[in-house]
Structure 1
């Protein structure tokens, strides 16, 4: 006997499981291999159901294929995160990971002087290490996002955050990363990670995030 399941119900459940991981809540101890295998299985279930007309066999095959693909991607992302942590020397740079996202956060106060887009010479080595990591793992792409605190004019802050992100991107390109793998954007003061009411909070909000994702499917 062939069992059939309501496709929309199972698909919705699988996608809900796949969406449970919030990239904004990053866990430095997360295991990419385990998490992406789980997500891959959920999404594979949806694909298997669609291809087989909603049969249990199709769902199981889809889940197995999806889990294998997710585990492969996760394994590579785990390796990329480990290699990057080993190559970054500045203790003020944080590297956190969750699912298929690797976030490298560089405080702007160690990257730039006040109101400047000239990168500090002391960070050139760590940016070169980041570039080497991206070259070592070519099946990934990076979005460089500049952020400021809320001091000063909002439009000026947004423009400054874009130019600073572009400056970081330029160093990565100069170190051999293909420009097609990079995107530089700025959000100004619009995405704080803590309150701007204290100097300590404003310092945390002034940052450049490098968001690395796998390009494999």
Structure 2
């Protein structure tokens, strides 16, 4: 079986060499490369032994500068990672990750990750003019490269259900499915993106929305 970490690292090598990104003044986030040993350790402890049995994927947009763009693990910042792995002693936090990790803690990390694989449409994040830049803002030919890599990940995971985490992700998944891909995969109704959920006035309602969705998948 192909390795999901290698899939991400190989995709990074591919996408950072796309000249059109440079022409668009888009920078490919790369800080997570320094975290490779912890990424592999995370997958070893939480993902690799379960992946053949996982049938549900939660799918976000792409890593941001302060969370997964640093850790290399979707919706996990260093605060969360320090609780998941020994020998991680860094305290960077990010709002989306804070919300998402509160959901993980409800179930316990081992139980959560034995039932749910968390990923993004695009494994790699982007920056433009010192701000996060999302994959759906990129030119169509680059989005097709990203979609192809996403489908490669889904061939490894082979899910029955994908839960979109935003309207843009839902739109992309439906586009991919309309083109004859992801056959037999249910695109479940979307949840709001964790960043939106992390707003204080939204937190409780969105936590309950996530819980109600996941309770039927996490047994």
Q: TM-score, normalised by structure 1?
A: 0.33
**What TM-score comes out, normalization by structure 2 length?**
0.33
Considering Cα pairs closer than 8 Å and 6+ residues apart, tell me whether 1 or 2 has the greater RCO: 2
Greater Rg over alpha carbons, structure: 1
- Structure with bigger strand share is 1
